[in-house]
């Protein structure tokens, strides 16, 4: 393939893999945290809210560094995960997914939270009177109603994950074939004089992938919204 | 006892303080807009948590603020027809109807019940639609169906028939009667319609500004001349009981009523059945002598028990008919002309057709020999 | 707002920050002329100068970007000079890493074990480029190529070793000097890689009359004392 | 002509095809749940864009699909009371009421009108509240007020009184009558209540499955024995006109009615005023001879014009009373006993109190001598 | 002031200035674009949508680079703005604000869009029948109802702007007192030995500022939402 080198293809595939996993794996947590923030009322709520927004506020390098000292092999959580569960994040694509997920988390949570806040609690009450417990009300009423918000959150997260660079490279470095994602490759090209053309190629790929995801998701979201509205 | 409610709750500018005990059957909440009916129903449903409350249904305590008992709404097994629909917009009509069944104990919804309810409510053609495009009345019918099909231990109905036309009401009311008579599910029923209340209710609770003004059987509450101002003069009336003697071929049923035979439009119940008939005070004509050659078929021998002047040109006359009470509303001018006074023996004239089918119903429970 | 009158604006490679801040303070004391330094990656700074940035001096950590600007006529050719050199070193985690001898016989891969060798991006960032060249010269690259973890800059590579995520790394001598949690295992001979040069030049658009003086001052003894204290050497 | 509507529109499973011309006044849309009333009203409001339409109000064309004319909803100046409230949740009751006025031409809302409407609807204590905590009836009253206070050129009211108790209805209906009589704002009024329709409507449009079944004056539509099945038998009746002769001291008004004097509860209108009285078919008793010694005060000489057997035991008798039509509903048995047949001269007996105040109204427009 | 140097204080002040301006100035556009995306139906809609998401998808460096070549003094738009309107963005705080605004734009738009999509069109219809034109319906009904969404969008944008680094340093460099924001200052400290302590100080400042904004905005949003719900 003349357009992209083998390494570059790997980077494309890896970026997709990382972004999809980052989105998919963080979605349940995103929904949970959004639910807690939208509906909960407990002392530490503002702290949780702040924590969720932190990756947005901090320079990505700092987030990456914090991840490194926490989830690295020497980090308290990283060591635990490795010893107890055999999960290694450092220098692996899994770590890249973690970094992308964390960076995208505030976006995902905010979208889902807004959707939850727009659900009419009267419908949930009605479901309650019909015998559904809180969990079942959530599963049968809230969740379907916030689906467009969940899709929006997932798309934002996916797009962000596709573009995430600073935290990822700080946390898992750039190992071709393992942690080299598109943004890292693009960054590398931009560091050397004359690398712009190569960078542009990768940018185009990245944009194409993300745009496809975007358009598909818009279509799905529209369909879902129409089904909900029932028209 | 079946439904026991004692609730106090304050909103800024409004306070609710209601207590009543109602036997099995339909308890009607009756009162003007803003009198606290929905608030009370919400308290029973567990959707608001009143300041103090003791609410029990069939010996199950739903809420006892003193004892610290509070059952979550989903554990109360109520079918609540909300005043404003609250259908699930993302579910089809069919799934809305099925919703309550998903959480009810297995087998709690009788087989065939769904089809009966769908047919009664005329929802057959709508099952695949979503609520958004339904008409107002269609939505309300789905809401009724959803509550009925949730296998509830308690039904709460907040003006369930307000958005419906009379023909549709006439189809639904008998179903609710059957529900009342054949099951022991207590129903708390909010309505502005005296006809509905008189027909369905076992007990009437009349509310005013968050306070109970009267609690009693419809016969007591609705036939009480003192209730006339609360009810609105047009709705005063009494209930008498009668036994179906025979069904005539010309479409009439002949009954043994208080103070004489009664002829009414055919009642769909076997001979021998005891029924209750609501007779509106303004439908009763009084005569000194038994009239002849008139189209009205019912002429009852009665004695004037009490006379009560209302505001305006009318007065309410309480009559004794073979031990039962009847109300008649006549003008003062007639009263003077006929020299109506307590103790006077006279005749009450009543048209058969003046009695609407919804004013006749099979007496519930113990008294009946009917199915 | 620091549109400070007569201030000289310097666009400098970020790795010079501590040292250059001190030098700038000296100059400020000496002349009373304000110096404003914008620290960023050489590539970003060079592109900004291409886009007309208000820089008087450009200090690049890499000859490539300097050449590109010069070719584009954005520099005053006569002002360009080599300013400093640095060295790259192999560092290990911990205060007392056993020294190694860099030769083709070295079992560097074995030393690293199942860990990683932390470097800056080997094809993009100067420290990485130099490190890769040195390893290639020494015939060690093929051994370790698969174990290299490339950071986006040399400081991040240093951090990886400092916190022990990577047992070894290749960084500038200046970086190793200031970090207690790492120690130098070997210093790469200067002839194993292209010269590590920090270059300085005055931009074509520079209008500040003091720019030349500052450029001269940077190469002066006072400045060099500071640079050397931070581990840099004067460029030959 | 005042309101001209011709609309066709298809939904999957439902099609609307309605055309009528209605003079000034209140045009009632009458029909069962799902018959297309709201759809039609929405088309007039411009909220749906029907497949084909020609809609004009007082010579202003709102929509003409052939001519490509379509006026945006906000240019139509309509006051629409929606079936489901639609109050602005973020605005206080007071701001909700004022909302329409913000966009109406300056001075279009008469000074003092706001206070009148607020008092009539009993909203005084609610002005600073927000819709979320209002009761069902309170919401509906605010919605009515909001529409009334928008200085509309056309009022659309979709079951505006359904959620209200009778007492509140009785306060609002006279206001709507005044509106009808004193302004030339056309009103399109959806209701399931025959009483409301008969009382308010100038024209009745009866819908069934998206088709017009009858268009005409309430007297025509509601007194037509053939309309009985559509209306529901209980609501059949006729309208007669009468002139107030004098107000007696005992609270009755004496009127010159068709076929004789009429005694009715006091009517709040000066002597000489022409009124219309709705007489329910089931309230009329027929007698071969003028009865004596009975409490019913009104005995009219009538001639049987037509006899129509209904289903069941009843039949509807159309009577000619001094040139006007009356309906009586009696049992077959009575008809046989009295030998009722066309041409028979007999007496129609009617209780004064059987005529509800809401069944008497000041004849609108040209005929009236009233204020 | 011993805790922060004068330059650092300047960076704090500048970060605030840049973030506030970025948020405030992009808000009207954010609302407009959200409205168009939520309600519009036109051929180029997906392209607009993609464009809005672009800064999320691209590595920040690329966005910064694009800004540099477009809005730089030699860039087509930059040159035009400078010559015709006297507006200079390159290497000014205004440029930093532009970069932050663009990077934050997708977050802002998505939040507002979700809020708009949750507004019941029936209410807008009701306002229409009462005589309000589309613009007035928007101003009197839609806008108040989406206020919580707007606040959420603004907060996200502000937080993002406070943390934005890659595009900013690439576009407007890192000139103390002019374009050096907190994140770029943090970056510079992290590039040199011994800079970590200083970087940490700045990180703490940054977190404190953003958290304050976050908590205040949550309070405001809650108040607004309660007013809207009317309870
Ligand atoms: N968007 C739609 N798609 C499909 N069917 C629709 C749609 N909107 C309305 N309908 C159907 O059209 C019929 C007429 O609806 P409409 O709301 O006009 O009834 P209505 O006469 O107002 O009834 P109600 O008295 O119950 O309010 C109903 O059967 C309804 O289900
Ligand atoms: N959250 C609240 N805050 C303040 N007042 C409230 C609140 N909820 C209800 N109210 C008031 O309490 C009173 C009773 O309301 P409720 O809904 O129980 O009336 P209702 O009897 O159901 O009337 P309707 O027949 O109109 O539905 C009303 O005046 C209402 O405005
Ligand atoms: Mg209510
Ligand atoms: Mg309707």
> Are D288 and D326 in the same domain?
yes
Q: Is A208 on the interface with E (CB under 8 A)?
A: no
C-beta B270 within 6 A of ligand 2: no
The reported pLDDT for the residue numbered B307 is 81
Distance from CA of A70 to the nearest CA of E (A): 16
User: Does residue D54 sit within a domain?
Assistant: yes
Q: What are phi and psi of A168, to 5 degrees?
A: -60, -50
User: Does residue D226 sit within a domain?
Assistant: no
Contacts of A189 in chain C (CB under 8 A): 124
The reported pLDDT for the residue numbered C26 is 93
pLDDT tens track for D298-337: 888 888 888 877 656 677 888 888 777 888 888 777 788 8
The reported pLDDT for the residue numbered D367 is 37
Q: For residue B90, give the nearest of A130, A134, A145 by CB distance.
A: A145
Q: Parallel, antiparallel, or unpaired for β B78-81 and B154-158?
A: parallel
**Average pLDDT of D223-229?**
53
pLDDT confidence band for D365 (50 / 70 / 90): very low
Q: Whose CA is nearest to atom 8 of ligand 2?
A: D133
Question: What's the farthest any 2 CA atoms get from each other in chain C?
Answer: 59
> Are D33 and D152 in the same domain?
yes
Which of B11, B83, B188, B192, when mutated, tests ligand 2's pocket best, judged by the most ligand atoms within 8 Å of its CB? Answer: B11
> Using an 8 Å Cβ cutoff, are D76 and E113 in contact?
no
Exposure class string for B225-243: b at 16+ Cβ within 10 A, else e: bebbebbbbbbbbbbbbbb
Q: Which residues 127-166 of chain E have a CB within 8 Å of chain A? A: 148-149, 152, 156, 159-160, 162-163, 165-166
Q: What number of other Cβ atoms are within 10 A of residue C141's Cβ? A: 17
Q: Any idea what the CATH number is for the domain that residue D334 is in?
A: 2.40.50.100
- The answer to whether the Cβ–Cβ distance between D285 and B295 falls below 8 Å is yes
User: Does C225 score more than 50 pLDDT?
Assistant: yes
Give the residue from D154, D184, D216 where a domain finishes: D216
Nearest residue of A to residue C147, measured between CA atoms: A175
Residue B336 sits in which domain range?
237-362
Contacts of A170 in chain C (CB under 8 A): 151-152, 156, 159
User: Does residue B162 sit within a domain?
Assistant: yes
User: pLDDT below 50 — which residues of chain A?
Assistant: 1
**Average pLDDT of C186-211?**
91
> Are D212 and D241 in the same domain?
no
User: Does D280 score more than 60 pLDDT?
Assistant: yes
pLDDT tens track for E158-198: 999 998 988 999 999 888 888 899 998 888 888 877 778 88
- The answer to whether the Cβ–Cβ distance between D351 and B330 falls below 8 Å is yes
> Using an 8 Å Cβ cutoff, are A33 and A55 in contact?
no
User: Which residue stretches of chain B are H helix?
Assistant: 37-45, 93-103, 113-121, 136-148, 166-182, 194-200, 218-223, 228-231, 332-338
Residue C1 in 3-state DSSP? coil
pLDDT confidence band for D8 (50 / 70 / 90): very high
Distance CA D290, CA B37 (A): 49
Exposure class string for E178-197: b at 16+ Cβ within 10 A, else e: bbbbbbbbbbbbbbbbebbe
> Are B251 and B210 in the same domain?
no
- The answer to whether the Cβ–Cβ distance between E61 and A187 falls below 8 Å is yes
**Average pLDDT of C73-100?**
91
Chains that touch E (3 or more CB pairs under 8 A): A, C, D
Q: What are phi and psi of B349, to 5 degrees?
A: -105, 135
Task: Delineate the domains of chain A, giving CATH numbers in brackets.
Answer: 6-229 (1.10.3720.10)
User: Does E212 score more than 60 pLDDT?
Assistant: yes
Q: Any idea what the CATH number is for the domain that residue B118 is in?
A: 3.40.50.300
> Using an 8 Å Cβ cutoff, are E84 and E90 in contact?
no
Q: Under 8 Å CB-to-CB from C142, ≥6 apart: which residues?
A: none
Q: What are phi and psi of C114, to 5 degrees?
A: -90, 15
Radius of gyration of the CA atoms of chain E, in A: 20
Q: Nearest to residue E91, comparing CAs of E184, E169, E191, E11?
A: E169
The top-scoring range by mean pLDDT among C201-210, D301-310, E22-31, E71-80 is E22-31
ipTM score of complex = 0.84
> Using an 8 Å Cβ cutoff, are C42 and C62 in contact?
yes
> Using an 8 Å Cβ cutoff, are E86 and E4 in contact?
no
Q: Which atom of ligand 2 is nearest to the CA of B192?
A: 25
Tally of residues, chain D: 371
Residue whose token pair is 């169906």: B145
> Are B139 and B248 in the same domain?
no
Residue B358 in 3-state DSSP? helix
Residue bearing the bigger pLDDT, B323 or E105:
E105
User: Does D109 score more than 80 pLDDT?
Assistant: no
Q: Nearest to residue B190, comparing CAs of B39, B313, B12?
A: B39
User: Does residue D229 sit within a domain?
Assistant: no
CA B41 / ligand 3 centre spacing (Å): 9
Q: What are phi and psi of E97, to 5 degrees?
A: -65, -40
Distance CA C24, CA C42 (A): 19
Q: Nearest to residue E100, comparing CAs of E32, E18, E181?
A: E18
> Are B191 and B303 in the same domain?
no
- The answer to whether the Cβ–Cβ distance between E173 and C18 falls below 8 Å is no
Distance from CA of A86 to the nearest CA of E (A): 32
Give the residue from B187, B216, B245 where a domain finishes: B216
Residue bearing the bigger pLDDT, C18 or D355:
C18
Among C40, C165, C199, the strongest candidate for a mutation testing the A interface, having the largest count of A CBs within 10 A, is C165
What total of structural domains would you count in chain B? Answer: 2
CA C43 / ligand 2 centre spacing (Å): 68
Termini Cα distance of chain A: 47
> Are B162 and B85 in the same domain?
yes
Q: Taking the alpha carbons of D321, D323, D329, D330 in that order, is the dihedral positive or negative? A: positive
**Average pLDDT of E63-80?**
88
Give the residue from D182, D216, D250 where a domain finishes: D216
pLDDT tens track for D59-87: 889 999 899 899 999 999 899 999 888 99
Chain CA centroid to CA A208, Å:
19
Q: Which atom of ligand 2 is nearest to the CA of D135?
A: 17
- Protein residues whose CB sits closer than 6 Å to any atom of ligand 1: B 133-138; D 11-14, 31, 33-39, 83
Count of CA atoms in the C-beta half-sphere (13 A) of B204? 27
Which of B14, B41, B47, B161, when mutated, tests ligand 2's pocket best, judged by the most ligand atoms within 8 Å of its CB? Answer: B14
Burial of B112 from C-beta contacts in 10 A (0-12 / 13-18 / 19+)? exposed
> Are D212 and D292 in the same domain?
no
Q: Under 8 Å CB-to-CB from D64, ≥6 apart: which residues?
A: D53, D54, D55, D56, D70
CA B140 / ligand 1 centre spacing (Å): 12
User: Does residue B229 sit within a domain?
Assistant: no
User: Does residue D369 sit within a domain?
Assistant: no
DSSP secondary structure code for residue C75 in this structure? B
Distance CA C100, CA A215 (A): 56
For the entire predicted model, the pTM comes to 0.84
The reported pLDDT for the residue numbered B341 is 84
User: Does C229 score more than 60 pLDDT?
Assistant: yes
> Are D189 and D314 in the same domain?
no
The reported pLDDT for the residue numbered D164 is 85
> Are D34 and D68 in the same domain?
yes
The reported pLDDT for the residue numbered B366 is 34
CA A124 / ligand 1 centre spacing (Å): 26
Q: For residue A191, give the nearest of C118, C121, C163 by CB distance.
A: C121
Distance CA E77, CA E82 (A): 8
- Helix E143-163 and helix E182-190, axial crossing angle in degrees, nearest 10: 20
> Are D250 and D111 in the same domain?
no
User: Does residue B368 sit within a domain?
Assistant: no
Q: Nearest to residue A173, comparing CAs of E190, C156, C40, E61?
A: C156
Encoded tokens for D98: 């004022």
- The answer to whether the Cβ–Cβ distance between E176 and C36 falls below 8 Å is yes
Encoded tokens for D8: 């066709």
Distance CA A100, CA C107 (A): 36
CA dihedral D229→D233→D235→D237, nearest 10 degrees, is: 90
User: pLDDT below 50 — which residues of chain B?
Assistant: 228-229, 233, 364-371
User: Does D278 score more than 60 pLDDT?
Assistant: yes
Count of CA atoms in the C-beta half-sphere (13 A) of B98? 11
**Average pLDDT of C80-94?**
92
Contacts of D142 in chain B (CB under 8 A): none
**Average pLDDT of D115-131?**
89
Which of B7, B28, B37, when mutated, tests ligand 2's pocket best, judged by the most ligand atoms within 8 Å of its CB? Answer: B37
For ion ligand 4, residues whose CB falls within 5 Å? B 135-136; D 38, 83
> Are D154 and D252 in the same domain?
no
The reported pLDDT for the residue numbered D310 is 62
Q: Do chain E and B touch: 3 or more Cβ pairs under 8 angstroms?
A: no
Distance CA D134, CA D93 (A): 9
User: Does residue B295 sit within a domain?
Assistant: yes
The reported pLDDT for the residue numbered B108 is 75
């Amino acid at each position: 393939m003349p357009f992209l080198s083998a390494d570059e293809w790997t980077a494309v595939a890896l970026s997709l893999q990382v972004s999809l996993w980052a989105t998919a794996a963080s979605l349940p947590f995103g929904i949970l945290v959004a639910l807690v923030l939208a509906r909960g009322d407990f002392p530490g709520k503002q702290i949780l809210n702040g924590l969720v927004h932190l990756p947005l506020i901090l320079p990505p390098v700092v987030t990456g560094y914090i991840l490194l000292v926490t989830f690295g092999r020497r980090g308290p959580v990283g060591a635990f995960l490795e010893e107890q569960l055999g999960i290694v994040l450092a220098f692996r694509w899994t770590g890249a997914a973690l970094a992308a997920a964390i960076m995208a988390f505030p976006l995902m949570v905010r979208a889902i939270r807004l959707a939850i806040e727009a659900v009419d609690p009267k419908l949930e009450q009605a479901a309650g009177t019909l015998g559904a417990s809180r969990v079942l009300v959530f599963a049968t009423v809230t969740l379907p109603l916030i689906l467009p918000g969940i899709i929006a959150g997932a798309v934002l997260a996916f797009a962000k994950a596709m573009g995430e660079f600073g935290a990822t490279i700080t946390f898992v470095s750039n190992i071709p074939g393992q942690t080299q994602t598109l943004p890292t490759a693009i960054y590398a090209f931009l560091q050397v004089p004359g690398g712009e053309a190569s960078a542009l190629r990768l940018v185009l790929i990245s944009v194409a992938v993300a745009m496809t995801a975007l358009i598909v998701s818009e279509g799905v979201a529209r369909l879902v919204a129409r089904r909900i509205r029932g028209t | 006892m079946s439904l026991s409610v004692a609730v106090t709750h304050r909103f800024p500018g409004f306070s609710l303080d209601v207590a009543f005990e109602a036997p099995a059957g339909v308890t009607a909440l009756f009162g003007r807009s803003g009198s606290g009916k929905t608030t009370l129903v919400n308290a029973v449903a567990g959707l608001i948590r009143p300041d103090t409350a003791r609410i029990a249904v069939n010996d199950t305590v739903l809420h006892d603020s003193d004892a610290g008992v509070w059952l979550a709404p989903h554990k109360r097994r109520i079918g609540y027809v909300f005043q404003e629909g609250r259908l699930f917009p993302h579910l089809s009509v069919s799934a809305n109807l099925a919703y309550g069944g998903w959480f009810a104990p297995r087998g709690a919804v009788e087989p065939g019940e769904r089809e009966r309810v769908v047919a009664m409510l005329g929802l057959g053609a709508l099952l695949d639609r979503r609520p958004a495009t339904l008409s107002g009345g269609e939505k309300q019918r789905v809401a009724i169906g959803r509550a009925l099909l949730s296998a509830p231990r308690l039904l709460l109905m907040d003006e369930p028939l307000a958005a419906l036309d009379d023909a549709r009401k006439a189809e639904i009311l008998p179903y609710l009667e059957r529900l009342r008579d054949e099951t022991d599910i207590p129903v708390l029923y909010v309505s502005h319609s005296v006809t509905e209340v008189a027909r369905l209710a076992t007990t009437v609770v009349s509310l005013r500004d968050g306070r109970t003004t009267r609690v009693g059987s419809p016969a007591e509450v609705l036939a009480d001349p003192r209730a006339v101002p609360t009810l609105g003069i047009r709705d005063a009336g009494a209930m008498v009981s009668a036994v179906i003697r025979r069904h005539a071929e010309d479409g009439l049923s002949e009954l043994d009523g208080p103070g004489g035979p009664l002829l009414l439009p055919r009642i769909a119940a076997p001979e021998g059945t005891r029924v209750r008939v609501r007779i509106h005070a303004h439908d009763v004509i009084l005569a000194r002598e038994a009239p002849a050659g008139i189209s009205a078929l019912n002429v009852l021998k009665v004695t004037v028990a009490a006379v009560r002047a209302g505001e305006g040109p009318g007065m309410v006359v309480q009559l004794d008919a073979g031990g039962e009470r009847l109300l008649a509303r006549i003008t003062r001018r007639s009263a003077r002309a006929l020299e109506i006074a307590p103790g006077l023996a006279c005749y009450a004239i009543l048209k058969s057709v003046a009695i609407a089918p919804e004013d006749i119903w099979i007496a519930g429970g113990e008294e009946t020999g009917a199915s | 707002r620091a549109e400070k009158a007569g201030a000289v604006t310097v666009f400098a490679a970020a790795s010079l920050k501590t040292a250059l801040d001190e030098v700038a303070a000296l100059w400020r004391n000496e002349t009373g002329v304000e110096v404003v330094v914008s620290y960023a990656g050489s590539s970003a700074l060079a592109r900004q100068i291409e886009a007309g940035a208000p820089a008087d001096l450009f200090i690049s950590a890499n000859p490539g970007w300097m050449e590109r600007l010069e070719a584009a006529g954005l520099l005053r050719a006569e002002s360009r000079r080599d300013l400093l050199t640095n060295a790259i070193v192999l560092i290990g985690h911990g205060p007392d890493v056993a020294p190694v001898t860099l030769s083709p016989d070295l079992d560097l891969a074995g030393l690293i074990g199942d860990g990683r060798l932390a470097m800056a991006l080997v094809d993009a960032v100067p420290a990485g480029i130099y490190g890769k060249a040195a390893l290639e010269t020494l015939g060690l690259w093929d051994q370790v190529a698969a174990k290299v973890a490339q950071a986006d800059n040399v400081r991040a590579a240093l951090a990886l070793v400092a916190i022990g995520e990577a047992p070894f790394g290749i960084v500038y001598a200046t970086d190793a000097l200031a970090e207690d949690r790492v120690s130098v295992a070997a210093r790469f001979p200067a002839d194993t890689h292209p010269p590590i040069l920090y270059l300085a030049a005055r931009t074509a658009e520079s209008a500040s009359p003091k720019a030349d003086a500052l450029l001269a001052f940077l190469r002066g003894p006072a400045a060099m004392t500071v640079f050397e204290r931070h581990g840099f050497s004067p460029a030959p």
